[in-house]
């Protein structure tokens, strides 16, 4: 089914907002994130900083090593939310079929929009123009017959770009795309495909569905479809939260179980507060996440409907004993049970 999908992605959103509000930061490497001395991480950065190898989710300490002049600004989520609300109000002028992915990114289905005689390209151009006028920030847009291609297109000519892929252009466009552009293909899958001499979607098209299912399981069908530019996913206007969690990055690594146990009560209290605040009371399991000092991560989970300290202690012990390495981050959470009254919400990136 061919749709008219627009993917809007704000350019370096958090950093761009800070530069907009403080013009003295222009032409300087700027990032938003946690402080290096508190072992923070980078949430986003401008293009000047990216030229030094800085990127989101990078340790702030490493970011400063790569770019000694990097200016790291603490996040101001309330300010970013206010800007995001203005941007969303612009989207609503053209469609109410909107799927927000974060504060700075969203899919819009304009298949039935009557604006500009139904031209998705002209709608995208106008949205970009109105965003610039309203909040003095630039956005990049991708226009395509489905979500997968629209997402790729929005990243095609950043910043302030607009890439259009018409239904007639899909076959030629996807043929030379690297398989790494396929949603869900990470390093492991990409290396597996590389070992099969598959580097582009065109090469991937030569593999039949049975072989893909054999090699990649259920993901084989997605590989088969995306390699051909096929994506039947609809733009979902609401998403159901599947988990609630909290986590802490320690100022210094912890190298004993007892030290981790000491942190559990405060984490569990914060978790219970978040569960209550989001009106989530029914859950089916609890889990613990540990990130070791080499940045490897492990998660242990078990079925439970009530939060008990000793259960989390058992999970911490299991997780820690998988590697016996110093720990830099500890997280606790719950998987929510599916109910008819699930609240719609989104967890935010922990900067500290």
104 is in an annotated binding site: yes
Active site residue 105: yes
- State residue 99 phi and psi, 5-degree precision: -120, 95
**Known binder of ligand: residue 258?**
no
Structure-block tokens of residue 121: 């390209």
Among 18, 37, 99, 105, the active-site one is 105
Buried b (16+ CB within 10 A) or exposed e, 140-168: bbbbbbbbbbbbbbbeeeeeebbbbbeee
Total residue count of the chain as it appears in this document: 352
- Residues within the annotated binding site? 9, 104
- Residues within the annotated binding site for Mg(2+)? 9, 104
Q: Catalogue the active-site residues.
A: 105
């Amino acid at each position: 089914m061919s749709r008219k999908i627009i993917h809007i992605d704000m350019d370096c959103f958090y950093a761009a907002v800070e530069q907009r509000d403080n013009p003295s930061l222009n032409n300087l490497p700027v990032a938003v994130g946690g402080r290096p001395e508190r072992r923070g991480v980078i949430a986003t950065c401008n293009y000047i900083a990216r030229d030094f190898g800085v990127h989101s989710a990078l340790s702030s300490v490493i970011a400063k090593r790569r770019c000694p002049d990097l200016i790291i600004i603490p996040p101001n989520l309330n300010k970013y939310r206010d800007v995001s609300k203005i941007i969303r109000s612009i989207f609503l002028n053209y469609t109410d079929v909107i799927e927000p992915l974060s504060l700075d990114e969203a899919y819009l289905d304009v298949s039935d929009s009557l604006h500009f005689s139904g031209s998705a390209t002209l709608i995208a151009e106008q949205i970009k123009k109105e965003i610039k006028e309203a909040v003095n920030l630039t956005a990049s847009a991708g226009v395509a017959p489905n979500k997968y291609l629209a997402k790729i297109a929005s990243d095609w000519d950043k910043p302030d770009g607009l890439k259009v892929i018409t239904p007639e252009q899909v076959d030629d466009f996807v043929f030379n795309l690297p398989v790494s552009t396929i949603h869900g293909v990470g390093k492991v899958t990409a290396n597996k495909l590389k070992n099969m001499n598959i580097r582009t979607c065109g090469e991937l098209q030569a593999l039949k569905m049975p072989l893909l299912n054999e090699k990649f399981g259920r993901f084989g069908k997605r590989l088969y479809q995306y390699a051909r530019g096929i994506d039947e996913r609809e733009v979902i206007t609401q998403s159901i939260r599947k988990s609630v969690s909290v986590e802490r990055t320690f100022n210094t690594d912890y190298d004993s179980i007892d030290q981790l146990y000491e942190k559990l009560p405060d984490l569990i209290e914060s978790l219970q507060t978040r569960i209550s605040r989001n009106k989530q009371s029914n859950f089916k399991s609890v889990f613990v996440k540990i990130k070791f000092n080499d940045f490897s991560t492990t998660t242990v989970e078990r079925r439970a409907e009530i939060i008990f300290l000793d259960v989390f202690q058992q999970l911490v012990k299991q997780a820690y004993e998988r590697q016996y390495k110093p720990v830099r981050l500890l997280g606790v959470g719950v998987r929510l049970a599916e109910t008819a009254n699930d609240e719609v919400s989104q967890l935010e990136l922990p900067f500290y």
